[in-house]
């Protein structure tokens, strides 16, 4: 009798675990973010050359391949065109309030001239208690890292449900 009760208890715990994990929906599973560089971003490389960027797109933090968007680029040493976001490398949200999400996102991008790079977008919202976080965007292009932000650029992460 006792063995039968332990078996039933074990079965009930296992069944509950399966049902609880399969029926739970984590908020991040349905969450997408829209990123926007609301005006032109500019950044310098070590040699003094600069890149300017504009753009917008979406991403899902739990699916690095679920990305959209891109924008335009111009390099001071010559060349301009468009870029396309191909993958989310990483997104780290920061404490924030209101409709916008503070945080830092890194995206793999492909430029229209065939070169590749990484786009970094950061967003600071009012009241975000994170030292070192600022609004802006910068990028690498091929082997050049345009890391030194030059213009105060408004960037935004909007939290939205999938399909919106």
* Domain tally, the chain: 1
Please indicate, yes or no, if residue 118 is contained in any of the structural domains.
Answer: yes
Burial class of residue 113, CB neighbours in 10 A (0-12, 13-18, 19+): middle
Residue 39 falls within a domain, yes or no?
A: yes
Q: pLDDT by residue for the chain (164 residues), tens digit each?
A: 454 443 333 333 333 333 333 332 233 456 899 999 988 999 999 999 999 999 999 999 999 999 999 999 999 999 999 999 999 999 999 988 778 899 999 999 999 999 999 999 998 888 777 777 888 899 999 999 999 988 767 888 888 755 54
In a domain, 92, yes or no: yes
Q: Is residue 104 part of a domain?
A: yes
Q: Is 146 part of any domain?
A: yes
What range does the domain containing 145 cover? 28-161
């Amino acid at each position: 009798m006792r063995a039968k009760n332990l078996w039933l208890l074990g079965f009930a715990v296992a069944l509950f675990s399966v049902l609880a994990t399969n029926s739970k929906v984590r908020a991040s599973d349905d969450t997408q973010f829209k990123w926007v560089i609301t005006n032109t971003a500019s950044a310098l490389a070590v040699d003094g050359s600069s890149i300017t960027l504009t753009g917008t797109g979406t991403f899902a933090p739990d699916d690095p391949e679920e990305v959209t968007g891109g924008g335009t680029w111009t390099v001071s040493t010559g060349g301009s065109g468009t870029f396309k976001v191909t993958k989310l490398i990483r997104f780290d949200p920061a404490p924030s309030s209101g409709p916008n999400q503070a945080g830092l996102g890194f995206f793999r991008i492909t430029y229209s001239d065939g070169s590749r790079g990484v786009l970094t977008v950061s967003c600071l919202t009012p009241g975000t208690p994170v030292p070192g976080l600022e609004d802006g965007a910068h990028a690498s292009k091929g082997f050049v890292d345009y890391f030194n932000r030059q213009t105060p650029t408004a960037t935004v992460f909007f939290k939205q449900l999938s399909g919106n």
